[in-house]
Amino acid sequence: MILNDIYKELKTKNINDKVPFDHKYKTKNKVISMSLGRIWFNLLTPDTYPLIDETINSKKIHSIIEDIYDKYPVDVSSNFVDNLNKESYKLGTIIPSTFDINSLIVPQFILDKKKELLLDNPNLNPDEVNKISEKLATEYLEYVKTQFNSGIYNVLMSGAKGSPKDWAMLMISKGAQLDIEGSISKPILHSLDDGLSVEEFYSSAAEARYVQFYKSKGAADPGYLNTQTVFANSGILLKGDDCGTTKYFKLLVTPSLASSITGRFYLDERTNALKFIENINQSKKLINSIIKLRSPLYCIQPDGICKTCYGKLSEVLGTDKIGLLTAATINDQGVNKAMKVRHESSQISIQKANFIKDIIIS
């Protein structure tokens, strides 16, 4: 089976429908029954990568990408990410995730539970309100999925966009909020769908001011700095094979850094010669040792960076405009961080204090 076969099957079948699947490496030529969605994902991973037969969410996909990057050459792992992006967009046009007005009508059994667990218990602490609200939101989403085959369940539960916590604020209860000074308010037991009481409205307004403060303070300045950094780096080009610099970046190779130095050059002090770290197995041998890494920081190539200081990642990228790629990465990280501050500024994580556990160091 190939990807085109799956796209043809989806014209008459659901992505969760199970069909026969066999593969030389993943199933060892045995025929097994798997959903079209899981077959689709397994066909995107490298041929020799183990079979994945479980639900994939945003956290899981990140761990799979890291695992493939550790186990395979850079070109294989980068091709996997490229194909995943390309085929995901294609799949999204064939079976788009959407929802209708029925998804926004809270079922009566959820309203009854909400009255029993929240509205009839005004003295609940903020932590209890948030947990109950999120649990009811998850039940509500499962109901929407089974009754209306709504895609909103998959979108929120996968972590692709939003979460059950967001759905809870919208349809169940806004819960505890923060005011401009960061103090936790009395929990708001109604949702935006219900409408708020006068007291709840003013609590919500205080939270809105808090969000506006962090939105302007936490996003504007970093955003401007990020833009200037992008402009400063965007013109850097890859030039020359080896600039011949004698300065190196001393680096302690930790387990978390091992995969990052694959494709880079370092100085072997025993032979006083440059060595190339070809794959993850070679980089893992350097864990817990201090190496002298060739780095763009000390490159002396005029009007650019040489291929030795930059490493062989450029061969995978297929372009000499490394400054533009670096600028795009910086921009992506900067925007994500700034937007994260903006979106998380109104979200609070309530945790009960355990003074004995916090004070005693075992």
User: Residue 328: how many CB atoms within 10 A of its CB?
Assistant: 13
Pairing of strands 32-35, 18-21: antiparallel
In tens, the pLDDT along 48-99 reads: 999 998 888 888 888 898 888 878 887 888 889 999 999 988 888 888 777 7
pLDDT at 302 over 50: yes
pLDDT value of residue 345:
45
If 0-12 CB within 10 Å is exposed, 13-18 middle and 19+ buried, where does residue 253 land? buried
In terms of Cα–Cα distance, which of 191, 177, 179 is closest to 133?
191
pLDDT at residue 97, rounded to an integer: 73
Mean pLDDT of 253-280: 87
Side chain identity at residue 265, one-letter code: F
What was the pLDDT predicted at 335? 64
Would strands 273-276 and 18-21 be described as parallel, antiparallel, or unpaired?
A: unpaired
pTM above 0.95, yes or no: no
Nearest Cα neighbor of 338 from 229, 181, 176, 231 is 229
Tokens of 257: 């850094």
Give Cα 187 to chain centroid, integer Å: 30
